[in-house]
Amino acid sequence: MPTEREVKRRYDQARIDAKKGKYAEALEGCLFFLDNGGSAGVRLSYTLSDIMALSEHLPDARIALETRRDRCEASILDGSGGWQEIHDFTSFNKYLDERDRSLALLEQISHIPKLQELHATLLNHLWERLATEGQYEKLASIIEDEARNIAGYLARHYVVWSFLTEGSDEHSRDLGMIRRQVAQASLAYEVLMAVHKDRVAETLLRWVLRCDPTGEAEALMSAAAAKAGRGSDSK
């Protein structure tokens, strides 16, 4: 196995090669990083973006991603895959602009008893898309866990933000992060209200209002309740 330093070095060189127009060498380095456990935050974002940019010059770049996506899909279907394969699969589809492929697999494995654990994991990855489309009932089994996770992340970021110096870059950056999490929380609240998980919905609402320094959360949560058909029930 290559060392972490070697993996990073190859990717750094790949980005230099891309700028020089050495596209084949750049693709080789990006795929090396992708296949050898590069940093997850980089691997499934910047690296995939780099590979798709290379596909404008090399058709093989897109084919390489499709091949890896199809391999992940096969491992999910035969039960040998796990969380990582699902994360890779949904990320590949995002950058290939084939997100419906993820939804199709979700539907396909929903009917296979031995794959229900993988189905729940895939559902966790796709819940925001399904919520936005109003497919609330499909999310009834996992939305409570999502709400707890969102509230936990929001609370932790709010505490950290509270200790930052007002006007600093970090203060502004973390405020933006809190705003994104409040928006995500409002989507979870919409689902909770729609499927009548009122106790969890009320708890999430209290935490969001407590951890919102912008004053925007109340309107977002009210709008979410209204969209779920529960406008008169929101606090």
CA distance 172 to 191: 29
Domain that holds residue 51: 1-57
Kindly report the pTM of this predicted structure.
0.87
In a domain? residue 138: no
Asked whether the beta carbons of 45 and 65 are under 8 A apart, the reply is: no
From the number of C-beta atoms within 10 Å of its C-beta (0-12, 13-18, 19+), residue 139 rates as: buried
Task: Using the 3D structure, point to which of 19, 34, 57 is the last residue of a domain.
Answer: 57
- Domain check: are 228 and 149 in the same one? yes
What's the farthest any 2 CA atoms get from each other in the chain?
A: 60
In a domain? residue 38: yes
What letter would DSSP give residue 233?
A: G
In a domain? residue 62: no
- Domain check: are 71 and 37 in the same one? no
* pLDDT value at residue 235: 54
- Domain check: are 160 and 207 in the same one? yes
In a domain? residue 177: yes
* pLDDT value at residue 41: 83
* pLDDT value at residue 38: 66
- Domain check: are 82 and 115 in the same one? yes
* pLDDT value at residue 165: 94
**Rounded to whole angstroms, what are the CA distances from 200 to 4, 29, 35, 45?**
42, 46, 40, 32
- Domain check: are 53 and 104 in the same one? no
- Domain check: are 191 and 159 in the same one? yes
* pLDDT value at residue 124: 95
Count of domains forming the chain: 3
- Domain check: are 157 and 216 in the same one? yes
CA 146, 221, 231, 234 torsion-angle sign? positive
- Domain check: are 147 and 113 in the same one? no
* Residue appearing with tokens 């992340």: 153
- Domain check: are 173 and 228 in the same one? yes
- Domain check: are 210 and 156 in the same one? yes
Q: Give pLDDT < 50 ranges for the chain.
A: none
In a domain? residue 157: yes
